[in-house]
Amino acid sequence: MTNRNGQVIWITGGSSGIGEACAYRYAAEHASLVLTALTAEELEPVVAKCRDLGATVYALPYDLQHPDGIETLAEEAWNAFNRIDILYCNAGISQRTTVEDTSMEMIRRLMEINYFAPVAIAKAVLPKMLAAGGGHIAVTTSIAGKFGFPLRCGYCSSKHALYGFFETLQAEYSDRNIHVTIVCPGRVRTNISLRALDKGGKPHGKMDPGQGGGLSPEQAAKIIQKAIDRSKREVLVGRKELIMVYVKRFFPGLCAKIAKRIKPM
């Protein structure tokens, strides 16, 4: 087991799913953690378990759909331990609505949480990492960031956009000891479908069958942690659904046909 004494990791979306599972893996290796989620109440059980596992933890709740406080949030996260070695922007929200039923308000909310928040956090932390001699930035995208998918117009858009920003970040700062890992999950058994926005902006409240049969968050976290440790540029996380990434790359027309037939929930 790796001993991460002295290493500081900030994880957004740390109260459930992939973020929670990653937090426990790092906690067991005695890292110092900054954990962000929507509310302090959601973070409490995760923080308690991480401390039981041997981590020092700083809870930092925040609603990422509010951009005005992001710089202050990043400042507090950095000051918690006077450094951040790994920033993992994992928080996100999905939807289950057609283009016709998706309001511009919903699209903006999805973009704010899934795209603008991680971009703003990365931009706020980057200068500090550079001054400290380097660091690692990871971000959760999705295979929905590789191709269009029914009932996900805003979600897919936000995940596509992440690739543009974080691939550019990789290209510009790799020679300055800034490592970037783009995490691309397929189906992982998290609460994202339960919390996905339905028509009217209400929680979908259902576990999609495909997602319910996906990887466990613990399996996903093991893959993600290994990819970050190896400074991989991108890591695909999932099972047979990941074949669609390669279908899109080599047979885009076939991918479009398959996407039309995929059961979206």
Residues classed as catalytic: 155
| 152/74 Cα distance (integer angstroms) | 29
Q: Which two tokens stand for residue 104?
A: 């511009």
CA 49/CA 69 separation, integer angstroms: 28
Calculate the CA 254 to chain-centre distance. Answer: 28
Q: Which residues pair with 180 in a beta bridge?
A: 137
Give the residue ranges of DSSP H helices in the chain.
Answer: 17-28, 40-52, 70-81, 104-111, 117-132, 153-173, 192-195, 209-212, 217-229, 243-250, 252-261
Question: Quick check: 82 and 56 in contact, CB under 8 A?
Answer: no
* Inter-axis angle of helices 117-132 and 153-173, nearest 10: 20
236/220 Cα distance (integer angstroms):
10
Looking at residue 113, what DSSP letter applies?
A: I
Other residues' Cβ atoms within 10 Å of the Cβ of residue 100: 7
Q: Which amino acid appears at position 220 of this protein?
A: A
